[in-house]
Amino acid sequence: MTNQNILRDRALAFRALHVPGRPLLLPNAWDAASARLVEDAGAAAVATTSAGLAWALGVADGDRLDLDRSMAAVARITSTVTVPVSADIESGFAKDPAGVADTVRAVLAAGAVGVNIEDALHGGEGVLRPVAEQAERIAAAREAADTEGVPLFVNARIDTFLRGAGGVDATLERAAAFRAAGADGIFVPGAVEPGTVKELADGIDGPLNVLVGPGAPPVAELAALGVARVSAGSSVALAAYAVVRRATRELLDTGTYDAVAEGLDYGELNSLLG
């Protein structure tokens, strides 16, 4: 089987996992080891967290990581797991739609079959890209993947709630434009209030992805509201790094080691990557 056929099959399998009422659950990974642990725990797919991945490479989140290092990390993940992988590509690692298309080709070359593309702006005027401009970027991603013969799952992230740039109506307007441009799913981080989630699920013509963490409704409730994908985002990476801080402070301040008492067994993790 050719590499393109493998990618096509994985992309179709990943696409089929987005079912409203029976959501795909994604505890986002940031390196090969975390991805392998996610797979071993039973996850049907692996999605990267752009924040966690950037931090692991010594870079701040927010369009500061370069494409080459990001894709090298994604390639390490796809070569470590057998389940489909979706890559968070922030704003597309590009200034224009043609650059986004180049990024998508790099994503496919790295072995991933899904992408998150966000509409947030980091620097410059405004907090979100204009709808028409973002739609062009999504269309370029769609066309690049289709030209390669891979049904890449394009997840359009809308940061209206996360950036305080609009409510349900503004989100639905963007979602409709992005779906028309070729997005397969819509990701709305920051929207977890049940009534809001219900409005979004009912108003979006496509799978709805929400971001969860402490305080968010449980998966069963989100499923009943019509959610098709649930992401942990950077929260797992943040929790892991919190252990690093706690363990270090404990070692330096008290000379004890309780913070690492629940660590993984060396042999278990080593065998997973063997």
DSSP line for 61-113: SSS-S-HHHHHHHHHHHHTT-SS-EEEE-TT-SSSSHHHHHHHHHHHHHTT--
CA 25/CA 18 separation, integer angstroms: 10
pLDDT tens digits for range 32-66: 999 999 999 999 999 999 999 999 999 999 999 99
**Does residue 204 lie in a domain region?**
yes
CA 211/CA 192 separation, integer angstroms: 8
**Does residue 98 lie in a domain region?**
yes
**Does residue 63 lie in a domain region?**
yes
**Does residue 112 lie in a domain region?**
yes
pLDDT tens digits for range 194-230: 999 999 999 999 999 999 999 999 999 999 999 999 9
**Does residue 183 lie in a domain region?**
yes
pLDDT of residue 123: 73
**Does residue 149 lie in a domain region?**
yes
pLDDT of residue 246: 98
pLDDT band at 124 (very low <50, low <70, confident <90, very high): low
Q: Please tell me the pTM assigned to this model.
A: 0.96
Number of structural domains (the chain) is 1
CATH number of the domain encompassing residue 87: 3.20.20.60
Task: Quote the mean pLDDT of the chain.
Answer: 97
pLDDT of residue 75: 98
**Does residue 252 lie in a domain region?**
no
pLDDT tens digits for range 244-271: 999 999 999 999 999 999 999 999 999 9
In the predicted structure, residue 26 carries a pLDDT above the cut 80: yes
Domain of residue 80 covers 3-233
**Does residue 103 lie in a domain region?**
yes
Structure tokens that stand for 265 in this block = 């067994």
